[in-house]
């Protein structure tokens, strides 16, 4: 491998009661790569990234982030995690929310002020800095959640459907920022079911019914299946494997 693995998932399965949600997943994500997990709702994408983030334990198998076995408390400061459900305090303003998260990450003084300004600029919410979250639309809450995940300059960024409900122009600027962060050495794992976003990832893992059915660059996956689009490739792999 050209780069050291920033994330290693080794033969991971996850059960909830008698339900087997993930089946024997193995994948490696090199440093500074944008790795996309593509699959329909309920395919297991969120369960997998929660284990990478150290929020859940695998039932079997192991997850390593920067060669440390997860979950591990001292890795929280290295990871930026954006969940599908916003972890925001609706009675507080956007600034108060970011101040709270900045405190958790140990950001103080001028650096805290600077980072809050930078991330709010990125998600185009600066004019709404002092508004209560209760007044935010769903898309605005998604953007603020993304801002919060970026506050502390994490080494690893884990984003679960980050652009749902966000307009196309802002979606484009967010992907440009992800490319910039990747070029600075940040490893990014992003889940999506949007095919044009999947095409922007450096590599993709296709997940269906808890199984990793294909891994490769978007071009490799299209070429291997003689497909003109990622959607065609996904349908091909799904029909072959399951």
pLDDT at 182 over 70: yes
- pLDDT-based confidence at residue 242 (cuts at 50, 70, 90): very low
Contact criterion met (CB below 8 Å) for 25 and 13 = yes
- Residue 154 CA, chain-centre distance (Å), reads 12
Question: What tokens does 134 get?
Answer: 């209760």
pLDDT of 1 > 50? The answer is no
**Quick one: pLDDT at residue 2?**
45
Q: Are 174 and 198 in contact (CB under 8 A)?
A: no
Q: What is the pLDDT of residue 165?
A: 84
- The pLDDT of residue 194: 86
Residue range 219-240, pLDDT digits in tens: 999 999 999 999 999 999 988 6
To which H or E segment does residue 120 belong?
helix 109-122
Query: Can you list the alpha helix ranges (DSSP code H) found in 162-229?
Result: 168-183, 195-198, 218-224
45 DSSP assignment: H
Domain 5-241: give its CATH code. Answer: 3.40.50.300
pLDDT at residue 63 in the model: 98
Q: Is 220 exposed, middle or buried (0-12, 13-18, 19+ CB in 10 A)?
A: middle
- CA gap 219, 163 in Å, rounded: 23
Tokens of 178: 């992800």
- Contact between 88 and 97 under an 8 Å Cβ cutoff? The reply is yes
Checking if the pLDDT of 3 tops 70, the result is no
CB 43 within 8 A of CB 205: no
Which sequence spans correspond to the domains of the chain? 5-241
DSSP secondary structure, 5-18, as one string = EEEEEEEEEEEETT
**Model confidence pLDDT, tens digit, residues 21-75:** 999 999 999 999 999 999 988 999 999 999 999 999 999 999 999 999 999 999 9
Mean pLDDT of all residues belonging to the chain: 93
Look up the pTM and report it: 0.92
Beta bridge mates, 12: 25
pLDDT score of 85: 80
For 235, phi then psi, to 5°, come to -65, -35
pLDDT in tens, 85-95: 888 999 999 99
> Residues 79-129: pLDDT tens digits?
999 998 888 999 999 999 999 999 999 999 999 999 999 999 999 999 999
Q: Could you tell me the two tokens for 176?
A: 């440009």
pLDDT at 164: 86
Position 241 scores a pLDDT of 45
What's the CA gap between 101 and 39, in Å, rounded? 30
Average pLDDT of the residues in 137-143: 91
């Amino acid at each position: 491998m050209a780069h050291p693995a920033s994330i290693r998932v080794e033969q991971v399965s996850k059960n909830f009661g008698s339900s087997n949600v993930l089946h024997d997943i193995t994948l490696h994500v090199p440093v500074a790569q944008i790795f996309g997990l593509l699959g329909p709702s309920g395919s297991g994408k969120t369960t997998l990234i929660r284990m990478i983030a150290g929020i859940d334990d695998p039932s079997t198998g192991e997850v390593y982030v920067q060669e440390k076995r997860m979950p591990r408390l001292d890795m929280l400061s290295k990871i930026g995690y954006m969940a599908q459900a916003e972890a925001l305090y609706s009675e507080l303003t956007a600034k108060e929310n970011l101040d709270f998260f900045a405190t958790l990450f140990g950001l103080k003084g001028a650096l805290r002020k600077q980072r809050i300004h930078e991330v709010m600029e990125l998600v185009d919410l600066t004019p709404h800095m002092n508004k209560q979250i209760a007044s935010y639309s769903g898309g605005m809450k998604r953007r603020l959640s993304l801002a919060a995940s970026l506050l502390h300059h994490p080494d690893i960024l884990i984003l679960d459907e980050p652009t749902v409900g966000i307009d196309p122009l802002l979606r484009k600027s967010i992907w440009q920022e992800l490319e910039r962060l990747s070029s600075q050495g940040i490893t990014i794992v992003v889940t999506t079911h949007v095919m044009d976003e999947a095409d922007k990832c450096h590599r993709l893992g296709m997940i269906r019914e808890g199984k990793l059915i294909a891994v490769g660059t978007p071009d490799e996956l299209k070429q291997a299946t003689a497909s003109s689009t990622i959607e065609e490739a996904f349908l091909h792999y799904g029909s072959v494997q399951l």
